[in-house]
């Protein structure tokens, strides 16, 4: 039987990059409607029937996220150290998959953030998340978009020292646990007709 993924040794951290580890998220996400994406990255797969993927290949999306002409991802800044991204295994035997969940918080209720919530309600989304180690995660794919779901209540707080706050929650079910290593620059610039060049990470 050919294995889809080849096992290999995973050594102890041996260099500076392996040892560096900072918790939390970069306080900015990229977001767009799923329909605004022209090309999606694909699930990693062996190059041929007799090949096996290496671990690093098996843990990352293949290819770039490419926006449609006239579209781009929008940057949304949230309160620093008020966001968390988790990936949790779910499903019964034979139907296991992963629940990606993003929780962020934006200080101060106002018309703009309420309008943002209203715009996303019931829509299929694509979201790009980056942690403070520089690793990126993609929520949404060609078949299954991310979505905004019910979060904690927006609140004025009680005391004057409390935070007037708007919590937001997004979820996405993915067949695999993956990082995104494709373009993270060009997708924030509106794509023009005839321009197929994407930027680097």
pLDDT recorded at residue 31: 98
pLDDT recorded at residue 39: 97
User: Dihedral angle at the C-alpha atoms of 72, 109, 132, 147, nearest 10 degrees?
Assistant: -50
Pair 166, 144: CB distance under 8 Å: no
The secondary structure of residue 73, as a DSSP letter, is P
DSSP 96-116: -EEEEEEEEEEES--HHHHHH
Pair 143, 41: CB distance under 8 Å: no
Locate tokens 């942690």: which residue?
131
pLDDT recorded at residue 200: 46
pLDDT recorded at residue 48: 74
What is the three-class DSSP state of 33?
Answer: strand
The predicted model scores a pTM of: 0.90
Locate tokens 């794509």: which residue?
191
Pair 64, 41: CB distance under 8 Å: yes
Pair 130, 76: CB distance under 8 Å: no
Provide block-wise average pLDDT over 10 residues at a time, the chain (201 residues).
75 76 96 98 85 90 97 96 97 94 97 98 98 97 97 96 96 97 95 64 50
């Amino acid at each position: 039987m050919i294995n889809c993924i080849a096992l290999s040794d995973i050594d102890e951290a041996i260099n500076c990059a392996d040892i560096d580890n900072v918790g939390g998220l970069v306080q900015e996400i990229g977001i767009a409607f799923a329909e605004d994406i022209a090309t999606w990255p694909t699930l990693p797969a062996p190059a041929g029937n007799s090949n096996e993927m290496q671990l690093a290949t098996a843990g990352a999306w293949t290819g770039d996220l490419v926006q449609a002409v006239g579209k781009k991802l929008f940057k949304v800044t949230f309160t620093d150290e008020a966001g968390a991204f988790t990936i949790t295994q779910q499903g019964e035997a034979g139907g296991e998959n992963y629940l990606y969940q993003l929780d962020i918080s934006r200080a101060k209720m106002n018309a703009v953030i309420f309008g943002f919530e209203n715009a996303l309600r019931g829509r299929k989304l694509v979201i790009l998340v980056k942690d403070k180690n520089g690793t990126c995660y993609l929520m949404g794919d060609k078949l299954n978009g991310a979505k905004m779901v019910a979060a904690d209540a927006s609140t004025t707080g009680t005391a004057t020292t409390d935070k007037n706050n708007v919590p937001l929650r997004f979820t996405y079910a993915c067949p695999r646990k993956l990082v995104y290593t494709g373009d993270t620059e060009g997708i924030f610039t509106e794509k023009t007709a005839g321009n197929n060049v994407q930027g680097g990470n």
